[in-house]
Amino acid sequence: MNRFLSQERLPVLITSVVAIAMFLIAGFKYDNFLTLRVFFNLFSDNAFLGIVAVGLTFVILTGGIDLSVGSMVGCSSIMLATLIRDSQVAPPLAVGIVLAFGCLIGLTQGFLIARFELQPFLVTLAGLFLCRGIALRISQQSVQIDHPLFDQWASFSIALPQKSSLSFAALLLFLVVGIGWYLSRLRPFGRAIYAIGGNRQSAELMGVPVRKTLIGAYVISGICAALGGVVFTLYTQSGNAVSGTGLELDAIAAVVIGGTLLRGGYGSVPGSLLGVCVLGIVQTAITFDGTLSSWWTKIVIGVLLLGFLLLQRWIESAALSRRALAPSGTN
């Protein structure tokens, strides 16, 4: 039981309980809420946010931050739409170009942070302005996409009971979460990520390739943000340079609510998915209510975020107290 309720697992467990409780309470309060259709729509409607949150989880696990992900969503969205409509590039190739651009931005930011030990906040803030500026330079107007293959991607879904379905975007989200979990838990790269977040100096002494790992974390974040822009474009079937504005804050909130510590070293990719579900449940419940302003979504998320930050602080303090009271030579 002590191992199950460890410093790392307890926040995820609490997030799961909160998500289930919120879903059930909203189900009893609003008609037609407690259905498979609403449940699976949580993943379809928030797939782009979930994919961005997966990439951001790797960065935060190292103790860093990436503020450029929201602007990357807008930049990749308008870039994809322009490539398909104006340049007549085939959708698969256009998606590859967009992902390569996200990889390049992530690689550049990671190199600057790892090689010159610059502050991640400032480097990625510069990336935020750069990506948004590039997006607005490409087009300041929304660009509609009218391509048969792209339309097939946007409309593809797997039928499920109770008139529910899993969209192509939701399937991509599950695929990214699975890959993210595999990289973070079953590969040496993931162990290096946690080691750096726990104590960078100790990781260096143990021979962990700190620079390469940090660069890899930001590359993953850049690729996931670009893919999030692609999924957002599928959702709206258009590209917009200002899309994703403020998304980096929602993604950070989802990762923290999912149990990842901002100082790094603790957290998980599935936990971030749970955090996205919590945000989605709040937004869906307010939409079902119909009498509340959309600003209530931000208010509730702010309260939840503050609560989970206090919870994490309490868990950290409790863990330190147990270590101080433990007899010498025991774990």
Q: Mind giving me the DSSP string for 128-181?
A: HHHHHHHHHHH-SS-EE---HHHHHHHH-EEEETTTEEEEHHHHHHHHHHHHHH
Say if residues 222 and 269 touch (Cβ distance below 8 Å): no
**Fold type of domain 9-320:** ABC transporter involved in vitamin B12 uptake, BtuC (1.10.3470)
pLDDT in tens, the chain (331 residues): 455 455 567 778 889 999 999 999 999 999 889 999 999 999 999 999 999 999 999 999 999 999 999 999 999 999 999 999 999 999 999 999 999 999 999 999 999 999 999 999 999 999 999 999 999 999 999 999 999 999 999 999 999 998 889 999 999 999 999 999 999 999 999 999 999 999 999 999 999 999 999 999 999 999 999 999 999 999 999 999 999 999 999 999 999 999 898 888 889 999 999 999 999 999 999 999 887 777 888 898 999 899 888 887 887 777 667 667 666 554 4
| Letter string b/e over residues 247-262, b meaning 16 or more CB atoms within 10 A of that residue's CB | bbebbbbbbbbbbbbe
What was the pLDDT predicted at 331? 46
C-alpha of 172 from chain center:
13
- For the chain, the structural domain boundaries read 9-320
